[in-house]
Amino acid sequence: MSNELISPDKFFLNRFGMNENSLERILGTALERKADYADLYFEYRSAEGIALEESMVNHTSKSVSHGVGVRVCAQDRTGYAYSDEVTIDRMRLAAEAARAIADQRAAAPGAIQVGGRVASHNLYELETTPLEIPLEDRAKLLAEIDRVARAYDPRVKNVMASIAAERKLVMVVTSEGKIAADIQPLCRLNVSVIADDGKIRQIGSYGGGGRVEYRHFLEEERWKQYALEAARQAITNLDADDAPAGEMIVVLGPGWPGILLHEAIGHGLEGDFNRKGVSAFSNRIGQKVASELCTVIDDGTIKNRRGSLNVDDEGTPTSRTVLIEKGILRGYLQDRMNARLMKMAPTGNGRRESFAHSPMPRMTNTFMLAGESAPEDIIKSVDHGLYAVNFGGGQVDITNGKFVFSASEAYLIEGGRVTRPVKGATLIGNGPDVLTRVTMVGNDLALDAGVGTCGKDGQSVPVGVGLPTIRVDGITVGGTRG
């Protein structure tokens, strides 16, 4: 174990009986045709899950998966083959399958020399990964969460809590001869509470995590905050009225409501969609796409965050990318292929779910910089509107720019005051337009607690979002009270 932690690249070479020479031969096979570059992605992932329901810690699970993916890129073409049998033979077959994408070449390719290491960040070096914490301790914590959530209110009828922990070792070997290796810990704690007052049943959910030590949950009694927050949401929603329907002023609370940026802006700025010209943001760099109060960043280099990575999944160190600066569209999120085809620099956003997937441009942690307004003043400024503080998921249609995100906790604002809770509702808007309607930005930027997962083309990756309180003048709220 400790050896693996010191040197993930040695771990792979030892475990699967390979050396630099065998990697060179496989890459040579991959590049036999007219390709621009090739890479090998090795992954070894261990994960454990433990869950409580009905006051019993009755679910435990663990998994070990490993595999290798071979990718060959030629212009805008990608050949990808993977196998969960990591042997030289399988890799050679995979390389032969992947290179079929490229045309035949006349001259033999130059020799590849594997050796140089990529200098990466050090964003989540953990003394102990959560996987090393005894299962009994994790079970005790879940039992405490159950107790605290039930004690919050007699109307709490069921508590579901789970801890998921994983450790992923990855190694990327590129045809430039570079090796990038990383150990990526990740864990999250989730709590869902069902409340029932005899007439209505409601649910509340909260959680957090990141690339953190297990004690993250114990510090500041975060576990307790999660339990109380889930219970509070469920109880609050018991009294919720029907949500309004139609376009209105919406104030978004800090933190997780940043999912707005993820859906409305982030996806539309991913390099692949823009290279192909299929995004509502295509060819709009330098144009005004937001009010000048808005500066939006994607930053994969924040310590211990769920969306952070030392290197992305093609061996590029992650970075901080300004997407929108004072309302002006500045940049795209790039992987290697799309950066090269668009003659831009890779931004360290080439990510993949696992060895079974080819990388593509993805977000890391996406957030808006703080502004100057006090959150109270933002609420006070609204005569009639919606104050939405917690959200479920969202989705976007890249091509026409329409996006949704669904509120799970929201209130009416009446005469400058937050009044009654209303039921969850989906909010729908237009990506290139919604931020132009931002009229106030709070001084209270918060990042989410660390539970986000983003899906694209069938691949899920962990991400983060963040937002200060903002006022949006006109977004359609999908309630029932029209």
Partner 1 sequence: MATVDLKLAEWALGEAAKHGATAAEVLCISAESLGAGVRLGEVEKLKHSRERRLGLRVFTGQSSATASTAELERDSLADFIANTVTLARLTSPDPWSGLPDPALHPKSFPELGLVDPEQGMVSADEALTIARTAERAALGRDPRIKNSEGAEFSSGRYQVMFLNSQGFSGEYAGTSFSLVAAPIAQDGDSMQQGFWHTSNRRFSRLEDAESVGKTAADRALRRLGARKIKTRHAPVVFDPDMAAGLIRTIAGAASGPSLYKGASFLINKLGERIASPTVTVIDDALMPGGLGSKPFDGEGLATNSKKLVDGGTLATYLLDCYSARKLKLAPTGNASRGVGEAPSVSTTNLHLEIGKYTPEQIIGSVKEGLYLTEIIGMGVNLVTGDYSRGAGGIWIENGELAYPVQEITIAGNLKEMLQAVEMVGNDLRWRSSTASPTLKISEMTIAGA
Q: Please state, in angstroms and rounded to a whole number, the distance separating the CA atoms of residues 8 and 184.
A: 10
Which segment (76-84, 209-217, 315-323, 362-370) binds partner 1 by CB under 8 A?
76-84
- Do the beta carbons of residue 451 and residue 353 sit within 8 Å? no
Q: Report, in Å, the least distance between residue 405 CB and partner 1.
A: 7
Q: What angle do CA 186, 191, 192 make, to 5 degrees?
A: 135
Provide the mask over 168-197, with x wherever binding to partner 1 is found by CB under 8 A and - wherever it is not: ------------------------x-x-x-
- Range 417-436, binding partner 1 (CB under 8 A): 423-426, 428-430
Q: Please state, in angstroms and rounded to a whole number, the distance separating the CA atoms of residues 280 and 270.
A: 11
Selected binder of partner 1 within 109, 375, 393, 416 (CB under 8 A): 393
Q: Report, in Å, the least distance between residue 193 CB and partner 1.
A: 10
Position 154 contacts partner 1 (CB under 8 A): no
- Taking alpha carbons only, the member of 277, 167, 159, 243 closest to residue 482 is 243
Which C-beta is closer to partner 1: that of 371 or that of 462?
462
Q: What angle do CA 410, 416, 421 make, to 5 degrees?
A: 20
Q: Report, in Å, the least distance between residue 348 CB and partner 1.
A: 22
Give SS3 for 100: coil
Position 79 contacts partner 1 (CB under 8 A): yes
Q: Report, in Å, the least distance between residue 300 CB and partner 1.
A: 25
Selected binder of partner 1 within 40, 148, 160, 227 (CB under 8 A): 160
Selected binder of partner 1 within 3, 17, 77, 115 (CB under 8 A): 77
Helices 20-30, 88-99: crossing angle, 10 deg rounding? 20
Transcribe 287-356 into DSSP letters. Answer: SB-S-TT--EEEETTSTT-TT--SB-TTSPBP-EEEEEETTEE---B--HHHHHHTT----S-EE-SSTT
Position 110 contacts partner 1 (CB under 8 A): no
Give the pair of three-digit tokens for residue 40: 């090998």
Which segment (98-106, 162-170, 303-311, 312-320) binds partner 1 by CB under 8 A?
98-106
Selected binder of partner 1 within 117, 215, 276, 303 (CB under 8 A): 276
Position 482 contacts partner 1 (CB under 8 A): yes
Which segment (26-34, 366-374, 380-388, 399-407) binds partner 1 by CB under 8 A?
399-407
- Taking alpha carbons only, the member of 183, 216, 343, 214 closest to residue 275 is 343
- Taking alpha carbons only, the member of 211, 61, 238 closest to residue 135 is 61
Q: Report, in Å, the least distance between residue 187 CB and partner 1.
A: 17
Position 57 contacts partner 1 (CB under 8 A): yes
Position 41 contacts partner 1 (CB under 8 A): no
Q: Please state, in angstroms and rounded to a whole number, the distance separating the CA atoms of residues 117 and 464.
A: 28
Provide the mask over 190-229, with x wherever binding to partner 1 is found by CB under 8 A and - wherever it is not: --x-x-x---xxxx--------------------------
b/e map 194-227, b = 16+ CB within 10 Å: bbeeeeeebbbbbbbbbbbbbebbeeeebbebbb
Residue 325, number of CB atoms within 10 A of its CB: 16
Q: Please state, in angstroms and rounded to a whole number, the distance separating the CA atoms of residues 465 and 301.
A: 13
- Range 295-354, binding partner 1 (CB under 8 A): none
Position 402 contacts partner 1 (CB under 8 A): yes
Which C-beta is closer to partner 1: that of 209 or that of 429?
429
Which segment (106-114, 249-257, 295-303, 401-409) binds partner 1 by CB under 8 A?
401-409
Amino acid code (one letter) for 240: A
Which segment (60-68, 111-119, 224-232, 297-305) binds partner 1 by CB under 8 A?
60-68
